[in-house]
Amino acid sequence: MTELNEFLASESNAAIASIFKAIEQASFIVSKEVSYQGLGADILGAQGSENSTGDQQQKLDVFADHVFERALRNCGSVAGWASEEADEFVAFEGCENAEYVIAIDPLDGSSNIDVNVSIGTIFGIYKRLSPTGTTVQLQDFLQPGRNQVAAGYVLYSVSTQMVLSTGNGLHIFTLEPYKKQFHRVADHVKVPADGKCYSINEVNFDDFAPALKDFVQYCRDKKQENGKRKYTGRYIGSLCADFHRNLIKGGIYIYPATGEAPNGKLRLVYEGNPMTYLMAQAGGYGTDGVQDILEIVPTQLHQKCPLYIGSPVMMNEAMKQA
């Protein structure tokens, strides 16, 4: 099996490889603490503070943010980063000559941390727009998702896996915890054209736009030739986990505009963009309900966007209704 560094040596340049090496190291630390649920570092429960989008920060949100920031600062190939857990982007002093910047959700699925349900880390890597040798600027982080040069997520679950692309297909790696290395277990993965699962929080059904109500009703009603239901609902509350199941088995994940979240809940720069880049590499696609997520030019670091993402057949049906 191809070890992550071997894969990157053939699929990317030394700087990108060093970024993924840093992410591998940080993922191992977070994975270990998550697996010690309550026995190791003090990572359970609320931190007692809010992040920039008003979410109650969990201790693991802050722990993961620190672990990934330390690893990415030290790798020397990242000039700065934009994290869900920080109001502003952070320039990495001493890394002004680095060519890349990162947008990251250090811990996705925070509501699932204390109940031992799968959670993740999501990241997108961009080539900076500002000249190397200078301090990074906001514009470096407000690039459309199509500019990503690589992206990935780490899923802390029964096993810890990293799903990534450097632009040549989507690949899945599993963490071998004793060697602290990720080894590839699937390459050039394609999302099934159709699926069985639709993932949406139906508590918000009454707020959904008519077209979305029609799509959810379509999923509820659709029958197979044998008369059995074609679709079923699955919603974990961790984007990484719902995305991963839909990637492997086929399906669609939707976080739409709701009454409480008129622009949706997910953030474009460090959730919508990386996940849509990955889904596109796997043959699916993602939209905000109208346009390709990867074409949206962000205007704010933490701007939210509705997210429809998954298998093309289910996406086409959802978008047809739109």
User: Which residue ranges make up the site for ligand AHG (CB under 6 A)?
Assistant: 55, 84, 105, 108-111, 201, 237-239, 265
Number of other residues whose CB lies within 10 A of the CB of residue 80: 24
201 binds, among Mn ion, ligand AHG, none (CB under 5 to 8 A by kind): ligand AHG
Residue 108 or 288 having the CB closest to Mn ion? 108
Taking alpha carbons only, the member of 310, 305, 317 closest to residue 284 is 310
CB of 256 to Mn ion, least distance (A): 16
Rounded Cα distance between 259 and 262, Å, is 6
85 assigned to active site: yes
Cβ of residue 105: shortest distance to Mn ion, in angstroms? 4
Active site residue 194: no
Number of Cβ atoms within 10 Å of the Cβ of 290 = 10
Q: Is 69 in the site for Mn ion (CB under 5 A)?
A: no
* 108 in contact with Mn ion (CB under 5 A): yes
Please give the structure tokens belonging to residue 248.
């492997």
Distance separating alpha carbons of residues 277 and 274, to the nearest angstrom = 5
**Closest listed residue to residue 215, CA positions, set 263, 258, 252, 266:** 252
CA angle (121 as vertex; 307, 58 as ends), nearest 5: 95
Which amino acid is residue 188, in one-letter code? H
Residue 232, strand partner residues? 197
Query: Which amino acid is present at 79?
Result: A
Part of the chain binding Mn ion (CB under 5 A), chosen from 42-50, 66-74, 104-112, 128-136: 104-112
Instruction: Work out how close the CB of 29 gets to ligand AHG at its nearest, in angstroms, rounded to a whole number.
Output: 19
Q: Which run of H or E residues covers position 148?
A: strand 148-156
Q: Which is nearer to Mn ion, 108 or 140 (CB)?
A: 108
In the chain, alpha helices (H): 4-11, 14-35, 59-75, 210-221, 239-249, 273-281, 312-321
Number of residues that bind Mn ion (CB under 5 A): 4
- Is there binding between residue 11 and Mn ion (CB under 5 A)? no
Q: Give the position of tokens 């959670």.
A: 119
317 is catalytic: no
Q: Which of 11, 33, 65, 271 is catalytic?
A: 271
Q: Which of 242, 261, 258, 262 is nearest to 250 (CA)?
A: 242
Told to judge if 292 belongs to the known catalytic residues of this protein, a careful annotator would answer: no
Among positions 248-307, residues that touch Mn ion (CB under 5 A) are none
| Active site (annotated) includes residue 207 | no
Piece of the chain touching Mn ion by CB under 5 A; list 80-88, 126-134, 176-184, 189-197: 80-88
Q: Which of 65, 69, 85, 288 is catalytic?
A: 85
Q: Which of 3, 55, 96, 292 is catalytic?
A: 55
- Quick one: 33 or 105, whose CB is closer to ligand AHG? 105
Q: From the candidates 24, 69, 105, 242, give the one annotated as an active-site residue.
A: 105
Interface ranges with Mn ion (CB under 5 A): 84, 105, 107-108
Active site residues: 55, 61, 84-85, 105, 107-108, 271
